[in-house]
Structure 1
Amino acid sequence: MGNDLTKAQHAAIEEAAAIWREARCPIASTGAGISVPSGIPDFRSPGGLWEKHDPAEVATLQALRSRPARVWEFLFDALDIFANAAPNPAHTALAELERTGRLAAVITQNIDGLHQAAGSRNVIEFHGNSTRLYCMRCKRDHDAARITTLPSADRPWECECGGVVRPDIVFFGEQIPRDAMTRSFAVAQEADLVIVVGTSGEVAPANTIPATVKARGGKMIEVNLGPSTFGTMADVAIRAGCEAVLPALAKRLM
């Protein structure tokens, strides 16, 4: 996999590894791009779920309240994709770096649970987790494993109390969970290095985490296939697939 990287990319990885070795408290900030190699397309990209579903119709709290059946059509599609995905080498590399003391935490915008599946332990889920479900009326927890047994006609999924079951994720227009906000920015205040992986930096307030680290004099390593809104903020920007870059970085740091 590392053989697919160019000489310039290998040089950037060496530079990034040198910065990482000096870090006292490195953290990672991840977005949809880290899960693309696992078979989860970026919702916004061609072939993503927003081509089939209008986010204004299926991914807002108002839609969940007024059109729950339509929202659950989208959720069945999304959860089916997540259920068939497995961690890729980028997830595994971050988990191994945490295990060996080279990474303090992962702050992720993703709701797929793949960081935990790979073995990462200190994961802060900025936008929640699709495998946690609860009733909007009585707040009772529901088992996500039941989704695979629900007939497609059972949309929306209703609780025994008659309320609509929803995943514990942040829909458009909802607030980021207070605990996730508090923990994320507490970690960012301690960090002296942030590794940004698979996010273009367009989603607020998650996109302010790297700036928080940089404002305190920390460093930033960016791993993205294409350009991002971070501009010149990164001390090293590696334009290559995270599934190749992160294992190569981990190898140099072990």
Structure 2
Amino acid sequence: MTGSLVILTGAGISAESGLGTFRDTDGLWAKFDWQALATPEAFAAEPFKVHEFYNARRANLATARPHAAHAALARLERDWLARGGDFLLVTQNVDDLHEQAGSQRLVHMHGELKKMRCEACHTVATASDEIGTDTPCPRCRQPGFLRPHVVWFGEIPLEMDLIFQALESCTHFVAIGTSGTVYPAAGFSEIARRAGAHLTEINLAETDTSPVFDSHITGPASAAVPAWVEAFLAQG
């Protein structure tokens, strides 16, 4: 069995690595005002405050490690490609836990915490541990133009053309640890369904988009994803 496989991962897969989620009832946006920290307007008004928030998120990520679900998805990618299938992992997460586990065909639709972008010359570079308003761009050397390479409220997610192309031709779509409430990602299952794909949802509980899916697996990602990968690969 081969085909085109698209995986979507959300905050639920990162939470078990100790990273704070953004939208849960006890998540970061319940503790912090996103309007003051995660919009272009907030950054223009108080860049130091925004940098301080994302520097703390980067420090939190430095101690996080991938778990069994991340490893299983990296294995799935290797095995699926070796069989001649197509594969794309789309993550809503800004951490690099998938990369740490070995994933390569990966798109960060909401950006990457460990990268920074210069608004003067548009260079995207690896972020230092601490970014400030006086940090110079590694390319143009201008200070004051660096921002976190993350997608803020009101901004368009990254690589959407690539993602839509993959969804419109996929034979299997799997959503893991995502709430099904944040668009455009919440609409991916409908696009895959129209393409004739088999849809699988892996989550701790039902979501708003659960009725669209053909199969449901309930449980923590660290246990449910490796078991699903094992069973899925055994089918072929």
Q: Same fold (TM over 0.5)?
A: yes
Report the Cα distance in structure 1 between the residues aligned to 2:180 and 2:124, rounded to whole angstroms.
32
Give 2:88's aligned amino acid. A
Per mean C-alpha deviation after superposition, the further-off stretch among 39-48 and 168-177 is 39-48
Q: CA deviation at 1:46?
A: 4.5
Q: CA deviation at 1:207?
A: 1.5
Task: Give the aligned partner of residue 157 of structure 2.
Answer: 176
Q: For residue 16 of structure 2, give the secondary structure of its aligned residue in structure 1.
A: helix
Q: For residue 245 of structure 1, give the secondary structure of its aligned residue in structure 2.
A: helix
Q: Does 1:111 align with 2:90?
A: no
Give 2:95's aligned amino acid. D
Name the TM-score, length of structure 1 as normaliser. 0.82
Q: CA deviation at 1:47?
A: 4.2
Report the Cα distance in structure 2 between the residues aligned to 1:164 and 1:24, rounded to whole angstroms.
43
Q: For residue 137 of structure 1, give the secondary structure of its aligned residue in structure 2.
A: coil
More helix by share: 1
Question: CA offsets per residue over residues 198-229 of structure 1, 9 Å max, x none?
Answer: 10111111112111110122111000102211
Aligned partners of 1:95 and 1:118 also within 8 Å: yes
Give 1:158's aligned amino acid. T
Question: CA offsets per residue over residues 159-189 of structure 1, 9 Å max, x none?
Answer: 2423232121111111223xx1011011111
Task: Give the aligned partner of residue 158 of structure 1.
Answer: 135
Report the Cα distance in structure 2 between the residues aligned to 1:250 and 1:167, rounded to whole angstroms.
33
Give 1:163's aligned amino acid. G
Task: Give the aligned partner of residue 115 of structure 2.
Answer: 132
In structure 2, runs of 5+ residues without a counterpart are none
Q: CA deviation at 1:117?
A: 1.4
Task: Give the aligned partner of residue 29 of structure 1.
Answer: 8
- Aligned ranges for residues 238-253 of structure 1 at < 5 Å? 238-252=217-231, 253=233
- Going from structure 1 to structure 2, the CA distance change for 1:42 and 1:157 (only over 3 Å counts) comes to farther
In structure 1, runs of 5+ residues without a counterpart are 1-21
Q: Does 1:97 align with 2:76?
A: yes
Name the TM-score, length of structure 2 as normaliser. 0.88
Q: CA deviation at 1:40?
A: 0.9
- Percent identity between matched residues is 32
Q: CA deviation at 1:243?
A: 0.7
Report the Cα distance in structure 2 between the residues aligned to 1:157 and 1:32, rounded to whole angstroms.
31
Give 1:110's aligned amino acid. N
Report the Cα distance in structure 1 between the residues aligned to 2:34 and 2:111, rounded to whole angstroms.
17
CA RMSD of aligned residues (A): 1.9
Report the Cα distance in structure 1 between the residues aligned to 2:228 and 2:113, rounded to whole angstroms.
30
Q: Does 1:65 align with 2:44?
A: yes
Moved over 6 A (4+): none
Q: For residue 95 of structure 1, give the secondary structure of its aligned residue in structure 2.
A: helix
- Going from structure 1 to structure 2, the CA distance change for 1:197 and 1:157 (only over 3 Å counts) comes to farther
Q: CA deviation at 1:87?
A: 1.0
Aligned partners of 1:25 and 1:190 also within 8 Å: yes
Q: CA deviation at 1:83?
A: 1.6
Residue number among 170, 177, 182 corresponding to 1:198 in the alignment:
177
Q: For residue 175 of structure 2, give the secondary structure of its aligned residue in structure 1.
A: strand
Report the Cα distance in structure 2 between the residues aligned to 1:239 and 1:217, rounded to whole angstroms.
23
Report the Cα distance in structure 1 between the residues aligned to 2:134 and 2:59, rounded to whole angstroms.
15
Report the Cα distance in structure 1 between the residues aligned to 2:29 and 2:38, rounded to whole angstroms.
10
Task: Give the aligned partner of residue 123 of structure 1.
Answer: 106
Aligned partners of 1:23 and 1:193 also within 8 Å: no
Aligned partners of 1:221 and 1:236 also within 8 Å: yes
Report the Cα distance in structure 1 between the residues aligned to 2:144 and 2:27, rounded to whole angstroms.
30
Aligned partners of 2:201 and 2:210 also within 8 Å: no
Q: For residue 101 of structure 1, give the secondary structure of its aligned residue in structure 2.
A: helix
